[in-house]
Amino acid sequence: QSVLTQPPSVSGAPGQRVTISCTGSSSNIGAGYDVHWYQQLPGTAPKLLIYGNSNRPSGVPDRFSGSKSGTSASLAITGLQAEDEADYYCQSYDSSLGYVFGTGTKVTVL
């Protein structure tokens, strides 16, 4: 049972900007734990997209950016491309539950 809440789906036309929210609580994001984001393309394992709230691993395009404030975090994709169509998950740590994931968001490129 996910303790981090994400919208089930977001969509946008190629070139547009979309954002995905990740809402937690005082025992996870609000407690100061970092938020990480993963991209899961159909039929593949998740891939680390953003770590430490706003950092991109080597090779991740700068179209992807992350932020965190209070008990929430956000992932933004600017200049949306067809290859960005995937499921996206946020992840953090909870003082009672250990590592926790968001409910997941499906991004559709119109």
Partner 1 sequence: QLQLQESGPGLVKPSETLSLTCTVSGGSISSSSYYWGWIRQPPGKGLEWIGSIYYSGSTYYNPSLKSRVTISVDTSKNQFSLKLSSVTAADTAVYYCDVVSPENGAFDIWGQGTMVTVSS
- Summarize as ranges the residues that interact with partner 1 (CB under 8 A): 1-2, 34, 36, 38, 44-48, 51-52, 55, 57, 89, 91, 96-104
Q: Residue 106 forms beta bridges with which residues?
A: 9, 87
Q: Which of 92, 91, 36, 34 is nearest to 60 (CA)?
A: 36
Q: Compute the least distance from the CB of residue 107 to partner 1, in Å.
A: 15
Q: Which of 48/110 has CB closer to partner 1? A: 48
* Alpha-carbon gap, residue 59 to 18, rounded angstroms: 21
> Of 93, 91, 88, 59, nearest to 76 (Cα)?
88
Of 71 and 103, CB closest to partner 1:
103
Cβ 99 to partner 1, closest distance in Å? Answer: 4
CB of 2 to partner 1, least distance (A): 6
